[in-house]
Amino acid sequence: MWLIQFAIVALAALALAASPARAYDYPYDPYPWCAVYSSDMGAASNCGFLTLEQCRATVSGIGGFCEPNQFYNPRRSAPRRHRR
């Protein structure tokens, strides 16, 4: 079972690495922090935190840790208009 999961992750990593797309071409993901929860069944994650403090408060007491969201992609600001 773990071999299949590893193969899927490896293929996804290869596809992303080979892609010529830039980060801002990917979908908007405004959350820079993920909580990774510990359990006997494995780890689950929640990448829905705007601040590290929010993430740490969530995992406090239930186990786990916080890490940067690898898919974080802030909305690009609108192009600035040049005034004459």
How far, in Å, CA of 57 to CA of 70, rounded? 20
Q: Is 45 domain-assigned? A: yes
Report how many domains make up the chain: 1
* 40-58 confidence digits (pLDDT tens): 767 799 999 999 999 999 9
How big is the CA angle at 5 (ends 2 and 6), to the nearest 5 degrees?
Answer: 85
Residue 63 lies in a domain: yes
The pTM (predicted TM-score) of the whole model is 0.56
Within a domain: residue 82? no
Domain that holds residue 69: 29-75
Tokens 């600001």 belong to 77
Q: If we measure between CA atoms, which residue out of 20, 28, 21, 66 comes closest to residue 47?
A: 66
Cα–Cα distance, 74 to 31 (Å, whole number): 8
Tell me the pLDDT of the chain averaged across its residues.
Answer: 77
